[in-house]
Chains A and B, each alone.
Chain A
Amino acid sequence: MKVAIINFPGTNCERDTQYAFEKLGYKTEIIWHKEESINADLIVLPGGFSHGDYLRTAAIAKFSPIMKAVVVHAKKGGYILGICNGFQMLLELKLLDGAMNRNLSLSFISKYHHLKVVSADNKFLSCCKKDEILNIPIAHGEGNYYIDSYNLNKMYDKGQILLKYCDENGAYENPNGSVDAIAGICDKDKKIFGLMPHPERAIEAELGGVDGARVLKGFIC
């Protein structure tokens, strides 16, 4: 299982992501955004501030040369995981539905947060159980996910809502104003997954938790 992690100017989670996947037993490669080809089973768009996020989060990243290869991979049915800024990229590329807005509080939020697994019927969360509660850090200023109610209902029908923010008992708790407290979604074929929390930051007890490993090892568990 080969994982390609794309590195944009402004990305700051590529090495954490590489460390996490390597530790779990995957082969990894970090690829600079100016490259034009990718040979991997899973492409990861990691967290950070691609191209500075100056206009809108992830708006400029979609024009990086590597993105043509990312889109080809997606069209061929390849797996893609977008974490935080990577999730924002998948929305800007329209590989996932919806858009990201500023956090309701306008504050940058950085803390551990509980999440409920809404659907585990996909490869990414195959190590998790439906309704399981995970504890994984979030760190973002624009994680307020928006989609209109018509398309939201379609996504529920197809099992595309994967993670929601909740408290430790599983009651929904919304840190950023996201529609329905949504933290992670996938496409209709369940090959492309975007989430705001950072599973790569919760893979060792020393980091404060290990629940992130359950999200990242879906392909090998």
Chain B
Amino acid sequence: MKVVVNVKLKAGVLDPQGKAVEHALSSLGFEGVNSVRVGKQIVLDIDESDKDTLKKNVESMCEDLLANTVIEEYEIVL
């Protein structure tokens, strides 16, 4: 089954990449962009059909490796 994990910096943690994109958009003339946050998307294909088990497994993956929960938050999309 395919699982998507979205990892992004927590609100309040400065995102240098987001800031750079924000400046670039502004200098290209795109108006009205209040802020930009850049994250990463990790797409997993896992041999597991039970959704609860799958979610639990992916949560462990996020806590152990995929995100650094000191500064990042994650969202699991089944």
Contact = CB atoms under 8 A, between A and B. Distances in A.
A pairs with B:
yes
Interface of A: 55-56, 59-60, 63, 91-92, 98-99, 101-106, 144, 146-147, 177
A56 B67 CA distance: 9
Interface of B is mostly: mixed
Contact of B71 (A59, A60, A99): A99
A96 B20 CA distance: 29
Given A55-B65, A106-B20, A99 B70 contact: yes
A101 B16 contact: yes
B11 to A, nearest CB: 12
A185 to B, nearest CB: 14
Most buried by A among B9, B65, B66: B65
B68 A92 contact: yes
A144 to B, nearest CB: 7
Contacts of B9: 101
18 contacts: A56-B68, A59-B65, A59-B68, A98-B70, A99-B68, A99-B70, A99-B71, A101-B9, A101-B16, A101-B71, A103-B16, A104-B14, A104-B16, A105-B16, A146-B70, A147-B70, A177-B14, A177-B16
